[in-house]
Amino acid sequence: MTTIAELILSTDEFALAKTLERLPDLTVRVESVVAEGPTRTMPLVWFSTDDPEDLEAALDADPSVDDHQCLLETAADGEWFYRLQYGEAVSSVCGSVYANGGTVLDAQVTDGQWTLRLLFPEREELSETVSAIENQGVRVDVRRMVEAGQDDDLETTAALTEPQQEAISEAYRQGYYDVPREISLEELADKLDISHQALSERLRRANRVLASEQLDDPSGELATD
């Protein structure tokens, strides 16, 4: 079933980190993304800034950007429309989305984080995309997810991805949550064939999703011991 999800990525691990570090007040909004094969990604981006010369200099110095071209100037509004060509690392992350049938609906930056709103024909393709991005050493937070035919308010819907479900289920079965623990995080990571850090991040995000569902549900009952 068609799934829409919001993914959160740090700018430090994705795109335009150095540009935003140099221009912290810069507003970034992706209009659309053009993918020319798995290693060439060219987004069309609106930048809001009062100093286009500083923007040009920042993009020139940003290692995540291989090339850039200003397509439209709206100086009166302080907005500048660019076509960017991302470097290999960023394109690999985007390629994971496209390789699994994903479409970028929109993307923007707030407080040092990218929010990507993606559409997938099947939920399994979202899970495969998250796993593929994490395997590149990039942390991904699936903030919201909803399936077609359900309430499409992404502000109020949350769910576990399949990798998160697998990790937390195996952790429970192996006694990771027992007191005392029956298995260490390192041993559990070996069983799941993922890195210690990737498992730690996956469990943390899964636990947060489950906790948020309880806190948002006034009838939910939290364990007290």
Residues in the chain: 225
Return d(Cα 149, Cα 48) in angstroms, integer.
36
- 182-223 pLDDT, tens per residue? 888 889 989 998 888 788 878 877 776 665 554 454 444 434
Residue showing tokens 């195996």: 170
Report pTM: 0.64
According to the model, what pLDDT value does residue 91 have?
85
Return d(Cα 70, Cα 122) in angstroms, integer.
36
According to the model, what pLDDT value does residue 28 have?
92
According to the model, what pLDDT value does residue 15 have?
92
Strands 141-147 and 41-48: unpaired
Of 194, 214, 173, residue with least CA distance to 130: 194
According to the model, what pLDDT value does residue 75 have?
65
Tell me which residues of the chain have a pLDDT lower than 70.
33-41, 75-76, 148-160, 208-225
Q: Residue 111: left (phi > 0), alpha (psi -120 to 50), or beta?
A: left
According to the model, what pLDDT value does residue 224 have?
37
